[in-house]
Every structure is written in structure tokens, then in C-alpha cells.
């Protein structure tokens, strides 16, 4: 007897919440890579997905990608910002500079910033507030390490990061939370769907308790080895309102495969 085919998962963003699929290029991408962004731009314009789509390139490509994205559906974000609007901070980029270059959002608190630059929740809160000051959406990252998960501390760590890193003025329009278990980033490993549901449910509960209706409508993204092969089932988990994608966003075919979870 032929085994019955398992039905495809149904994408399950929260009621009234428009999902977001954001690609973080990290420290990758020269101008030669912009063809990938153009392919994404053209594909989503030809067949609009039921989700917002964003690319966050390195700062060197921000302005040129803004020109590429102009007039289309592709949104542009930055990867980090300084908490000050200007000043003697060699090598840093302010939220105002990103906005001036054409960005509409910025990632703050990515685990790689925490690890490489020693950023703490207080630093991340200041950067998120700077994003709000400049009129950018702050994508605030939270997530536990392998050791913290093994010790059963995942929910405590995420709760602490939410309380410390998300500013009091956050709204559903100005703030996105991205849950990225540190041990899953770039490793090919992902939590079980039940684990993702547990953490995203806890994040939703915490946001709703603190921000009321705004917290109920705030987008919560999942990140950590998201790829075309697992995107649909991950995006179908309750309270998963999209994805923050790393390596798979560097190739248009892979990124579009993830966006296809929200096909038109």
C-alpha cells in the first residue's frame, strides 16, 4: 500500500501580523554580489509574497542597494548602528546615517555583536532606542548559547535579554524581535519545532505582558540555519512571524526558496 502523502505545513503568522523575511549578509558581499539582490528584487516584484522582504547588506553596499531597491518591494536594513547620532566614533555608523542611505530598519544585538564586541543588553537597548530616534525599525536579537540550553536556562536567558534590550518605547510598528539560538547559527542545526514553539510562545507572552496590544502584534522572527528545506515547517509554528536568515540569504535561489513559504 502506498503511504499517504503528508500534507504541507500551513504558514501560521499571528492574526493580522504581516510576516517579515530578512536576510543578514553579515561581513559578506562585494559589488559583484549585487546581482543576487537584483534577482530577489525582480522575483518578488513579479510574484509578490504575502510577507515583507528585506536585505541587510554590509554598510559598504547600503546606498547602492537602496538604489536597486527603489520603487520595488525589497526593503533595506542595516546590520548594526551606534547609539549616538554623530561624534568621534571612528568606524561606526549611526542610525541616522543608515536612514539617510535609504535603510528602513537595523539589526541590533546579534549574538555575533555580543561575542565579537562584548555588547550587553544595555548597549543593545541604547542602539534600539537610537534606531527609533532615527525612524528605523529595530530588529532586536535574543537567543541562548549551547551551554545555556544544556543547563535548561533558555527561557530565563531570553526573558532577561527581552527585558534588558527592548526599549520601553517599543511598538509593533517600530520593533521586531528575532529569536536566534546561538548554537544554531551557521551550524546546520535547528531546535525542534516544539522547542521553537515554546520559546516563541514565551516571547509573545512576555511582550504582551509588558506592551499590551502592541506586544501582541509585534513580529517575532526565527533565525538559525533557516533554509528552503525547513522554512515552511518553521514558519508554520505559532508565533513565528517570519525569519532572520543568514547564509541562505546570500544566494537569490536559496533566499527565494525561503520566501516561498509565503507565496502569493
How would you write the pLDDT of the chain (264 residues) with one tens digit per residue?
333 333 445 566 556 899 999 999 999 999 999 999 999 999 999 999 999 999 999 999 999 999 999 999 999 999 999 999 999 999 999 999 999 999 999 999 999 999 999 999 999 999 999 999 999 999 999 999 999 999 999 999 999 999 999 999 999 999 999 999 999 988 888 899 999 999 999 999 999 999 999 999 999 999 999 999 999 999 999 999 999 999 999 999 999 999 999 985
Secondary structure (DSSP) of 176-223: EEEE--GGGTTTS----HHHHHHHHHHHHHHHHHHHTHHHHHSEEEEE
Q: Residue 108: which H helix or E strand, with range?
A: strand 105-108
Q: Considering the domain 20-262 in this protein, what is its CATH number?
A: 3.20.20.70
Q: Which of 115, 139, 110, 119 is nearest to 224 (CA)?
A: 110
Number of other residues whose CB lies within 10 A of the CB of residue 16: 8
The residue annotated as part of the active site, out of 82, 110, 132, 200, is 110
Beta bridge partners, 140, equal 108, 177
Tell me 239's DSSP state: T
The three three-digit cell numbers of residue 83, written as one number: 547609539
Q: Is 244 helix (H, G, I), strand (E, B) or coil?
A: strand
| 36 carries an active-site annotation | no
Whole-structure pTM value = 0.94
Amino acid at each position: 500500500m502506498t503511504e499517504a502523502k503528508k500534507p504541507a505545513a500551513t504558514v501560521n503568522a499571528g492574526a493580522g501580523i504581516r510576516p517579515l523575511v530578512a536576510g543578514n549578509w553579515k561581513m559578506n558581499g562585494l559589488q559583484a554580489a549585487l546581482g543576487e539582490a537584483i534577482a530577489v528584487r525582480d522575483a518578488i516584484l513579479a510574484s509578490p509574497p504575502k510577507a515583507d522582504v528585506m536585505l541587510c547588506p554590509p554598510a559598504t553596499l547600503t546606498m547602492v542597494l537602496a538604489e536597486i531597491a527603489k520603487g520595488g518591494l525589497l526593503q533595506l536594513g542595516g546590520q548594526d548602528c551606534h547609539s549616538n547620532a554623530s561624534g568621534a566614533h571612528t568606524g561606526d555608523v549611526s542610525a541616522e546615517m543608515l536612514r539617510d542611505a535609504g535603510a528602513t530598519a537595523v539589526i541590533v544585538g546579534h549574538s555575533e555583536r555580543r561575542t565579537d564586541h562584548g555588547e550587553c543588553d544595555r548597549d543593545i537597548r541604547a542602539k534600539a532606542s537610537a534606531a527609533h530616534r532615527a525612524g528605523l525599525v529595530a530588529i532586536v536579537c535574543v537567543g541562548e548559547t549551547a551551554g545555556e540550553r544544556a543547563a535548561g536556562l533558555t527561557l530565563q536567558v531570553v526573558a532577561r535579554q527581552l527585558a534588558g534590550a527592548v526599549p520601553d518605547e517599543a511598538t509593533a510598528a517600530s520593533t521586531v524581535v528575532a529569536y536566534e539560538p546561538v548554537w544554531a547559527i551557521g551550524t546546520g542545526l535547528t531546535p525542534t519545532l516544539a522547542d521553537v514553539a515554546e520559546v516563541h510562545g514565551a516571547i509573545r507572552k512576555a511582550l504582551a505582558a509588558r506592551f499590551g496590544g502592541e506586544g501582541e502584534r509585534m513580529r517575532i522572527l526565527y533565525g538559525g540555519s533557516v533554509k528552503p528545506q525547513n522554512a515552511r515547517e518553521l514558519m508554520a509554528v505559532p508565533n513565528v512571524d517570519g525569519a532572520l536568515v543568514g547564509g541562505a540569504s546570500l544566494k537569490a535561489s536559496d533566499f527565494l526558496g525561503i520566501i516561498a513559504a509565503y507565496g502569493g
